[in-house]
Amino acid sequence: METQDFVAIDFETMTPELTSACAIGLVRVHNGVISQKFYSLIKPIPDSRTERNTHVHGLTDEMVADAPTFSELFPLLKSFIEDLPIVCHNSSTDINIFRSCMEYYGLTGIDLSHYVDTLELYGKGLKACCEENGIQLVNHHDALADAEACAKLYLCYQGHLAKDLAHYDLKEVMANKEARKYDHDTLMPLSEEDVENKDTIFFQKKVVITGIFCAYPDRDELGSILKSFGADINTTISGKTNIVIVGEGAGPSKLKKIEELNSKGKNIRLIYEKELCEIMNEITKH
Protein backbone atom coordinates (compact mmCIF):
# COMPACT_ATOMS: atom_id res chain seq x y z
CA MET A 1 0.00 0.00 0.00
CA GLU A 2 1.31 3.44 -0.92
CA THR A 3 -0.33 6.70 0.08
CA GLN A 4 0.73 10.31 0.48
CA ASP A 5 -2.01 10.87 3.08
CA PHE A 6 -1.39 9.19 6.43
CA VAL A 7 -0.66 9.70 10.13
CA ALA A 8 2.65 8.50 11.59
CA ILE A 9 2.52 7.57 15.28
CA ASP A 10 4.92 6.70 18.08
CA PHE A 11 4.33 5.76 21.72
CA GLU A 12 6.62 5.64 24.71
CA THR A 13 5.72 3.44 27.69
CA MET A 14 6.56 3.84 31.36
CA THR A 15 6.90 0.09 32.06
CA PRO A 16 7.19 -3.04 29.89
CA GLU A 17 3.36 -3.29 29.91
CA LEU A 18 1.72 -2.19 26.65
CA THR A 19 -0.99 -0.34 28.59
CA SER A 20 1.57 1.95 30.26
CA ALA A 21 1.69 4.49 27.40
CA CYS A 22 3.20 7.69 28.82
CA ALA A 23 3.71 9.78 25.67
CA ILE A 24 2.40 9.92 22.12
CA GLY A 25 3.55 11.70 18.97
CA LEU A 26 1.39 12.08 15.86
CA VAL A 27 2.46 13.51 12.49
CA ARG A 28 -0.13 14.05 9.79
CA VAL A 29 0.97 13.98 6.15
CA HIS A 30 -1.14 15.38 3.31
CA ASN A 31 -0.11 15.05 -0.34
CA GLY A 32 3.33 13.92 0.75
CA VAL A 33 3.93 16.97 2.98
CA ILE A 34 3.91 17.11 6.78
CA SER A 35 0.94 19.32 7.60
CA GLN A 36 0.30 18.87 11.32
CA LYS A 37 2.02 17.55 14.46
CA PHE A 38 0.74 16.61 17.90
CA TYR A 39 2.50 15.56 21.11
CA SER A 40 1.23 14.81 24.58
CA LEU A 41 2.32 13.14 27.76
CA ILE A 42 -0.11 10.46 28.96
CA LYS A 43 -0.96 9.42 32.51
CA PRO A 44 -0.17 5.68 32.31
CA ILE A 45 -2.66 2.99 33.23
CA PRO A 46 -1.32 1.61 36.56
CA ASP A 47 0.29 -1.81 36.63
CA SER A 48 2.32 -3.86 39.10
CA ARG A 49 5.64 -3.67 37.21
CA THR A 50 8.50 -2.04 39.10
CA GLU A 51 10.73 -1.59 36.03
CA ARG A 52 10.74 1.89 34.50
CA ASN A 53 11.75 2.90 30.97
CA THR A 54 13.00 6.29 32.18
CA HIS A 55 16.53 5.36 31.06
CA VAL A 56 15.19 5.11 27.49
CA HIS A 57 13.04 8.25 27.12
CA GLY A 58 13.80 10.34 30.23
CA LEU A 59 10.20 10.49 31.44
CA THR A 60 9.49 9.89 35.14
CA ASP A 61 6.36 9.04 37.12
CA GLU A 62 6.30 12.60 38.46
CA MET A 63 6.38 14.10 34.97
CA VAL A 64 3.29 12.20 33.81
CA ALA A 65 1.31 12.19 37.08
CA ASP A 66 -0.90 15.13 36.03
CA ALA A 67 -1.00 14.31 32.30
CA PRO A 68 -4.34 13.47 30.61
CA THR A 69 -5.29 9.81 30.47
CA PHE A 70 -5.43 7.97 27.16
CA SER A 71 -9.22 8.02 27.45
CA GLU A 72 -9.24 11.80 27.85
CA LEU A 73 -6.95 12.22 24.83
CA PHE A 74 -8.86 9.78 22.65
CA PRO A 75 -11.40 12.21 21.07
CA LEU A 76 -8.50 14.41 19.96
CA LEU A 77 -6.60 11.40 18.59
CA LYS A 78 -9.68 10.29 16.70
CA SER A 79 -10.20 13.71 15.09
CA PHE A 80 -6.48 13.91 14.21
CA ILE A 81 -6.30 10.48 12.58
CA GLU A 82 -9.82 10.38 11.09
CA ASP A 83 -9.90 7.49 8.58
CA LEU A 84 -6.28 7.84 7.44
CA PRO A 85 -3.92 4.87 7.46
CA ILE A 86 -1.45 4.73 10.34
CA VAL A 87 2.30 4.47 9.79
CA CYS A 88 4.64 3.33 12.56
CA HIS A 89 8.08 1.80 13.04
CA ASN A 90 7.40 -1.56 14.70
CA SER A 91 3.69 -2.29 14.65
CA SER A 92 4.05 -5.06 17.22
CA THR A 93 4.76 -2.30 19.72
CA ASP A 94 2.91 0.83 18.61
CA ILE A 95 -0.25 -0.73 17.18
CA ASN A 96 -0.50 -3.10 20.13
CA ILE A 97 -0.06 -0.24 22.60
CA PHE A 98 -2.85 1.63 20.82
CA ARG A 99 -5.08 -1.46 20.79
CA SER A 100 -4.37 -2.35 24.43
CA CYS A 101 -5.18 1.16 25.69
CA MET A 102 -8.38 1.30 23.62
CA GLU A 103 -9.47 -2.09 24.96
CA TYR A 104 -8.69 -1.11 28.57
CA TYR A 105 -10.98 1.93 28.34
CA GLY A 106 -13.54 0.28 26.03
CA LEU A 107 -12.90 2.80 23.24
CA THR A 108 -13.79 2.44 19.55
CA GLY A 109 -13.61 4.58 16.41
CA ILE A 110 -10.01 4.25 15.19
CA ASP A 111 -9.26 1.53 12.64
CA LEU A 112 -6.01 -0.13 13.72
CA SER A 113 -6.10 -2.77 10.99
CA HIS A 114 -5.11 -0.26 8.28
CA TYR A 115 -1.42 0.43 8.93
CA VAL A 116 2.06 0.42 7.40
CA ASP A 117 5.11 -0.74 9.36
CA THR A 118 8.34 0.94 8.20
CA LEU A 119 10.34 -1.61 10.22
CA GLU A 120 8.95 -4.30 7.92
CA LEU A 121 9.72 -2.14 4.85
CA TYR A 122 13.32 -1.39 5.81
CA GLY A 123 14.21 -4.28 8.12
CA LYS A 124 16.29 -2.07 10.42
CA GLY A 125 15.87 0.06 13.53
CA LEU A 126 14.64 3.63 13.27
CA LYS A 127 18.01 5.24 13.98
CA ALA A 128 19.85 3.12 11.39
CA CYS A 129 17.15 3.82 8.77
CA CYS A 130 17.38 7.56 9.36
CA GLU A 131 21.17 7.53 9.07
CA GLU A 132 21.00 5.63 5.77
CA ASN A 133 18.39 7.98 4.30
CA GLY A 134 19.85 11.30 5.45
CA ILE A 135 17.02 11.97 7.90
CA GLN A 136 17.91 13.90 11.03
CA LEU A 137 16.82 12.17 14.24
CA VAL A 138 17.88 14.63 16.94
CA ASN A 139 16.00 13.24 19.94
CA HIS A 140 15.50 9.49 19.51
CA HIS A 141 12.82 8.09 21.86
CA ASP A 142 11.00 11.39 21.98
CA ALA A 143 7.57 10.30 20.70
CA LEU A 144 7.12 13.24 18.32
CA ALA A 145 10.68 13.10 16.97
CA ASP A 146 10.31 9.38 16.28
CA ALA A 147 6.88 9.81 14.68
CA GLU A 148 8.23 12.53 12.37
CA ALA A 149 11.23 10.39 11.44
CA CYS A 150 8.88 7.50 10.68
CA ALA A 151 6.74 9.74 8.45
CA LYS A 152 9.81 10.87 6.50
CA LEU A 153 11.03 7.28 6.17
CA TYR A 154 7.76 6.27 4.56
CA LEU A 155 7.91 9.26 2.21
CA CYS A 156 11.47 8.22 1.31
CA TYR A 157 10.30 4.68 0.65
CA GLN A 158 7.68 5.99 -1.78
CA GLY A 159 10.22 8.24 -3.49
CA HIS A 160 8.59 11.50 -2.37
CA LEU A 161 11.42 12.71 -0.13
CA ALA A 162 14.98 12.14 -1.26
CA LYS A 163 16.66 13.82 1.70
CA ASP A 164 15.55 15.62 4.81
CA LEU A 165 16.50 19.26 4.30
CA ALA A 166 16.81 19.66 8.07
CA HIS A 167 19.87 17.40 7.75
CA TYR A 168 21.72 20.29 6.20
CA ASP A 169 22.58 23.65 7.72
CA LEU A 170 19.92 26.00 6.38
CA LYS A 171 22.21 29.04 6.42
CA GLU A 172 24.78 27.04 4.49
CA VAL A 173 22.25 26.04 1.84
CA MET A 174 20.92 29.56 1.48
CA ALA A 175 24.45 30.97 1.26
CA ASN A 176 25.27 28.60 -1.59
CA LYS A 177 24.48 30.66 -4.68
CA GLU A 178 24.82 27.63 -6.94
CA ALA A 179 21.87 25.99 -5.14
CA ARG A 180 19.68 28.97 -6.02
CA LYS A 181 20.63 29.34 -9.67
CA TYR A 182 18.34 28.74 -12.63
CA ASP A 183 19.35 27.49 -16.03
CA HIS A 184 19.01 30.23 -18.62
CA ASP A 185 16.17 28.40 -20.37
CA THR A 186 14.10 28.29 -17.17
CA LEU A 187 13.97 32.09 -17.12
CA MET A 188 12.71 32.26 -20.71
CA PRO A 189 8.87 31.94 -20.65
CA LEU A 190 7.10 29.74 -23.16
CA SER A 191 4.93 31.24 -25.85
CA GLU A 192 1.20 30.80 -25.26
CA GLU A 193 0.85 28.17 -28.00
CA ASP A 194 3.64 26.05 -26.42
CA VAL A 195 1.85 25.77 -23.05
CA GLU A 196 -0.08 22.50 -23.09
CA ASN A 197 -2.03 23.12 -19.86
CA LYS A 198 -3.30 26.69 -19.69
CA ASP A 199 -5.84 25.88 -16.97
CA THR A 200 -3.64 26.54 -13.92
CA ILE A 201 -3.11 29.54 -11.64
CA PHE A 202 0.43 29.91 -13.03
CA PHE A 203 -0.53 30.57 -16.66
CA GLN A 204 0.85 33.95 -17.81
CA LYS A 205 1.74 34.92 -14.23
CA LYS A 206 5.04 36.37 -13.06
CA VAL A 207 6.30 33.96 -10.40
CA VAL A 208 9.17 34.29 -7.92
CA ILE A 209 10.50 31.33 -5.89
CA THR A 210 12.22 32.01 -2.55
CA GLY A 211 13.50 29.57 0.09
CA ILE A 212 14.02 25.82 -0.09
CA PHE A 213 11.49 23.01 -0.33
CA CYS A 214 11.36 19.39 0.85
CA ALA A 215 9.29 18.28 -2.13
CA TYR A 216 11.35 20.30 -4.66
CA PRO A 217 14.94 20.60 -3.39
CA ASP A 218 16.15 21.62 -6.87
CA ARG A 219 14.88 25.15 -7.48
CA ASP A 220 15.56 25.00 -11.20
CA GLU A 221 13.46 21.85 -11.46
CA LEU A 222 10.55 23.58 -9.68
CA GLY A 223 10.98 26.62 -11.92
CA SER A 224 10.92 24.40 -15.02
CA ILE A 225 7.70 22.71 -13.88
CA LEU A 226 6.00 26.06 -13.29
CA LYS A 227 7.30 27.35 -16.62
CA SER A 228 5.65 24.36 -18.34
CA PHE A 229 2.34 25.67 -16.94
CA GLY A 230 2.98 29.06 -18.55
CA ALA A 231 4.64 30.85 -15.62
CA ASP A 232 7.16 33.62 -16.24
CA ILE A 233 9.87 32.82 -13.66
CA ASN A 234 11.45 35.97 -12.19
CA THR A 235 14.29 36.32 -9.70
CA THR A 236 13.22 39.58 -8.05
CA ILE A 237 10.01 40.93 -6.51
CA SER A 238 8.43 43.88 -8.30
CA GLY A 239 5.08 45.55 -8.71
CA LYS A 240 4.46 43.20 -11.64
CA THR A 241 4.92 40.03 -9.54
CA ASN A 242 1.75 37.93 -9.29
CA ILE A 243 2.78 34.88 -7.22
CA VAL A 244 5.60 34.13 -4.78
CA ILE A 245 6.34 30.50 -3.87
CA VAL A 246 7.64 30.60 -0.28
CA GLY A 247 9.87 27.89 1.18
CA GLU A 248 11.86 27.42 4.37
CA GLY A 249 14.44 30.15 4.92
CA ALA A 250 12.68 32.52 2.50
CA GLY A 251 14.53 35.79 2.06
CA PRO A 252 13.27 38.32 4.65
CA SER A 253 13.94 41.21 2.25
CA LYS A 254 11.67 39.58 -0.34
CA LEU A 255 8.89 39.05 2.21
CA LYS A 256 9.19 42.64 3.38
CA LYS A 257 9.02 43.87 -0.22
CA ILE A 258 5.83 41.85 -0.78
CA GLU A 259 4.26 43.30 2.36
CA GLU A 260 5.11 46.84 1.22
CA LEU A 261 3.73 46.28 -2.29
CA ASN A 262 0.52 44.69 -1.05
CA SER A 263 0.00 47.59 1.39
CA LYS A 264 0.10 49.88 -1.66
CA GLY A 265 -2.69 47.99 -3.41
CA LYS A 266 -0.83 45.19 -5.17
CA ASN A 267 -2.22 41.66 -4.80
CA ILE A 268 0.80 39.35 -4.71
CA ARG A 269 -0.27 35.84 -3.73
CA LEU A 270 1.95 33.86 -1.34
CA ILE A 271 1.95 30.09 -1.78
CA TYR A 272 3.71 28.00 0.88
CA GLU A 273 4.94 24.43 0.33
CA LYS A 274 1.87 22.66 1.70
CA GLU A 275 -0.47 24.57 -0.63
CA LEU A 276 2.00 24.23 -3.53
CA CYS A 277 1.94 20.44 -3.19
CA GLU A 278 -1.86 20.47 -3.04
CA ILE A 279 -2.01 22.57 -6.22
CA MET A 280 0.48 20.31 -8.00
CA ASN A 281 -1.49 17.25 -6.96
CA GLU A 282 -4.70 18.71 -8.37
CA ILE A 283 -2.99 19.63 -11.64
CA THR A 284 -1.61 16.11 -12.13
CA LYS A 285 -5.08 14.60 -11.51
CA HIS A 286 -6.46 16.31 -14.61
Backbone φ and ψ for 88, nearest 5 degrees, come out as: -145, 165
Q: What is the pLDDT along the chain (286 residues), one digit of tens a residue?
A: 567 799 999 999 999 999 999 999 999 988 888 888 899 999 999 999 999 999 999 999 999 999 999 999 999 999 999 999 999 999 999 999 999 999 999 999 999 999 999 999 999 999 999 888 878 887 889 999 999 999 999 998 887 753 444 444 444 445 555 556 788 888 999 999 999 899 999 999 999 998 877 777 778 889 999 999 999 999 999 999 999 998 877 777 888 899 899 999 999 999 988 788 888 888 876 6
Read off the pTM: 0.59
